[in-house]
Structure 1
Amino acid sequence: MLASRRDLLRLTMLAATTTLGMQPTKVLAADKVRIGVLKFGTVSWELDTLKHHRFDAANGIEAEIVYFAGEDATNVALLAGEIDVIVSDWLWVSRQRSLGDDLTLVPYSSAVGAIMVKEDSSIKTIGDLQGKKIGVAGGSLDKSWLLIQGLAARDHGMDLPSSSEVVFGAPPLLSEKAMQGELDAVLNFWHFCARLEANGFRRLVSAEEAAKALGASGPVSALGYVFHDKWADENPVAAMGFVKASAAAKQLLATSDAEWQRLAPLMRAEGRELETLRTRYREGIPTRRPAEDEADAAKLYRVLADLGGEKLVGEAREMAPGTFWPKLTQ
């Protein structure tokens, strides 16, 4: 049964690569790491820094960046064994582990979205969202949206979806609608929020604030670098080398404004937008021990399981053991 599933995933991956005009890659040597990312995603900023400064070579690996058109394609590629690493969240990793896959993750970023309103908006608290038109990116089961719903229910006795007019849509479109005044508030991904912040918007409440209010002791990594336990066990130099190379890139991004100027064309940002993106990115660099991240993620998993139910987490009511890479949490 397992073999047939992997064969299906491989066929799906072959179709995806054909659609994108790519050729299927061959299995690479142990010191090479194939990372699947979205072409214009924020992960590419860190990976560009990693490659430009040869942090991969300095840590005994060769990072090969493979670009995809969508998140689903990266997930399929990882499950099929066509790439070694992707970026995803711990909810997805936990659900896959509950289904029998051996995925695990290393914290990548705690940067999360926020509900944004115009600087001069009369909306001052979550309670003021009653009856307002709210744009939400990521769909009805987006973690940030669920956490903010939980906070609204706890502090204001509000059921946000029923007390407000909620519009779901693509992040760029929602940002544009907010700028045009067609939305009273918008919950978007962190980098879209940063761009709005640089253009006359302010944060009403962030998903990080909601997470802390609902039990987290600090900023929880929303995303991580995800790979198979089996791959890491068979390629320990590659796995740990990539973790160290990522840390070196983050350290440079945390300290060097010049590096952000170099990245500006890739980011398509300048001036205040570039500065705000830099600030918010730096705030999202994980600084806590992975074990602390894991403990808080487990707490939030239970909250999200109650809010999102089986559609979000499947049948598992607890985060699966090993969701965070044990080599970093022990």
Structure 2
Amino acid sequence: MNGEVRTIYPLKILVTLCLVAWVAPTRAAETLRIGLQSTGTFAWQLDVIRRHDLAASAGLDLKISEFASPDAGKLALNSGSIDIAVVDWLWVARARALGAKLLFYPYSSAVGAIMVKNDSAIHGIADLKGRVLAVAGGPLDKSWLIVQAAATRQGVDLRHEATLEYGAPPLISQKLQQGEAEASLNFWNFCASLDTQGYRRIFDVRDAEAALGLNEPVALIGYVFSEQFVADHRSAIDRFIAAAQKADDIMLRSDEEWDALRPLMHAEDDRTFKAYRDRTREGIPQRPIAAEEADARALFKVLAVTGGTELAGPSKELDPGLYYRPALRGD
């Protein structure tokens, strides 16, 4: 009898432990609040992350808030109502110069261009004198400042020699198409769409970068978050960046992935769709952070002269703490 009890008792313990393990709750996914510009391309990457369960696999629960403009996302970051947004590198650099503890990690080097109608008499920067130029993103937009700096080297002061109008990217595109502006400087995806609708480029922002001495394109937009958030949630940030890089790899390798993304892209035709796809791929950062930072430092010096204290704040040097380096990467 005693031997029978000794045999059954360990089995009861084993069954109990199995039941406890079965009912024990798994650790909840960590929430990241992400700000998303409704007309931006960040939505495409997030959709790849969602459909391939990359966030869930990383133990993350992404809560998405949509905003109508980049400025709304910046306000949400400053107020703490979101944790991450894709934001202009120059805005972050200026914010740090003024004391804000924000960090930047490259998202894309894709840039726009100055566009005109195919039959326009405007063929170069000098032809913009006395013309109406519509600019997306406002007077401190990174592309606008880069174009200004390059134009200055050609002896053209666009701020004073052209009539300027500012607005959100969709409005700027409409102004050009409706004849309210003779030229427009817009974000790359709006330019890609105009390429297929009877418009042409007279000056690419990448050409402007080259004119300012950059051999490689700099990622001018990136993921932005606060130092305090990193202090409390560094692992979550690193896991999100790793998931985003996996999504980028999928978009680089798979044409079928773009077929799944097409409903989000609002491409008017196959030519526009392929332009969106190809330019997104070209803009995916491939360089180490150290190389990005070195070129960004050189570019900032030039733009600080162009934009003055309104752009750079009290500093003419890029803050060395601006770029975030994930623990999961060696760069």
Query: In the alignment, which residue of structure 2 is the partner of 1:37?
Result: 36
CA distance in 2, matches of 1:329, 1:89: 24
Query: In the alignment, which residue of structure 1 is the partner of 2:19?
Result: none
Q: Compared with structure 1, are the counterparts of its residues 120 and 224 closer, same or farther at alpha carbon in structure 2 (3 Å cutoff)?
A: same
Query: In the alignment, which residue of structure 1 is the partner of 2:182?
Result: 184
SS of residue matched to 2:197: coil
Q: 2:207 aligns with which of 201, 209, 212?
A: 209
Instruction: Describe how 1:163-178 pairs up with structure 2 within 5 A.
Output: 163-178=161-176
Deviation sequence 1:89-121 (CA, Å, 0-9, x none)? 222222232333321111001111211122343
CA distance in 2, matches of 1:117, 1:148: 15
Q: How many residues align?
A: 302
Which amino acid in 2 is paired with 1:304?
A: L
SS of residue matched to 1:247: helix
CA distance in 2, matches of 1:225, 1:71: 13
SS of residue matched to 2:135: strand
Q: Compared with structure 1, are the counterparts of its residues 74 and 163 closer, same or farther at alpha carbon in structure 2 (3 Å cutoff)?
A: closer
Q: Compared with structure 1, are the counterparts of its residues 148 and 75 closer, same or farther at alpha carbon in structure 2 (3 Å cutoff)?
A: closer
Of the structure 1 ranges 185-194 and 53-62, higher mean CA displacement relative to structure 2 is found in 53-62
Q: Compared with structure 1, are the counterparts of its residues 165 and 38 closer, same or farther at alpha carbon in structure 2 (3 Å cutoff)?
A: closer
- Contact 2:102–2:227 (CA under 8 A) maintained in structure 1: yes
- Contact 1:114–1:207 (CA under 8 A) maintained in structure 2: yes
CA distance in 1, matches of 2:72, 2:173: 25
- Contact 2:98–2:314 (CA under 8 A) maintained in structure 1: no
1:88 CA displacement: 1.0
Q: Compared with structure 1, are the counterparts of its residues 29 and 238 closer, same or farther at alpha carbon in structure 2 (3 Å cutoff)?
A: farther
Q: RMSD between aligned alpha carbons?
A: 2.3
Query: In the alignment, which residue of structure 2 is the partner of 1:317?
Result: 316
Instruction: Describe how 1:148-167 pairs up with structure 2 within 5 A.
Output: 148-155=147-154, 157-167=155-165
Q: Compared with structure 1, are the counterparts of its residues 174 and 56 closer, same or farther at alpha carbon in structure 2 (3 Å cutoff)?
A: same
Query: In the alignment, which residue of structure 2 is the partner of 1:125?
Result: 124
Query: In the alignment, which residue of structure 2 is the partner of 1:271?
Result: 270
With the length of structure 1 as denominator, give the TM-score of the two structures: 0.83
Who wins on radius of gyration, i.e. which is larger?
2
Deviation sequence 1:27-61 (CA, Å, 0-9, x none)? x9773322111234221111111111111123332
SS of residue matched to 1:235: helix
Unaligned runs of 5+ residues in structure 1 are 1-27
CA distance in 2, matches of 1:76, 1:169: 17
- Contact 1:103–1:323 (CA under 8 A) maintained in structure 2: yes
CA distance in 2, matches of 1:71, 1:182: 23
CA distance in 2, matches of 1:139, 1:33: 29
Query: In the alignment, which residue of structure 1 is the partner of 2:235?
Result: 237
SS of residue matched to 1:134: strand
CA distance in 2, matches of 1:69, 1:204: 28
- Contact 2:104–2:222 (CA under 8 A) maintained in structure 1: yes
CA distance in 2, matches of 1:261, 1:205: 31
Which amino acid in 1 is paired with 2:234?
A: P
Which amino acid in 2 is paired with 1:198?
A: T
Does residue 135 of structure 2 align to residue 136 of structure 1? yes
Query: In the alignment, which residue of structure 2 is the partner of 1:259?
Result: 257
CA distance in 2, matches of 1:175, 1:221: 23
SS of residue matched to 1:315: coil
With the length of structure 2 as denominator, give the TM-score of the two structures: 0.83
Unaligned runs of 5+ residues in structure 2 are 1-26
Deviation sequence 1:249-299 (CA, Å, 0-9, x none)? 111222222222222222222422211111221221111111111111111
Q: Compared with structure 1, are the counterparts of its residues 200 and 298 closer, same or farther at alpha carbon in structure 2 (3 Å cutoff)?
A: same
Instruction: Describe how 1:83-122 pairs up with structure 2 within 5 A.
Output: 83-122=82-121
- Contact 1:198–1:276 (CA under 8 A) maintained in structure 2: no
1:65 CA displacement: 1.8
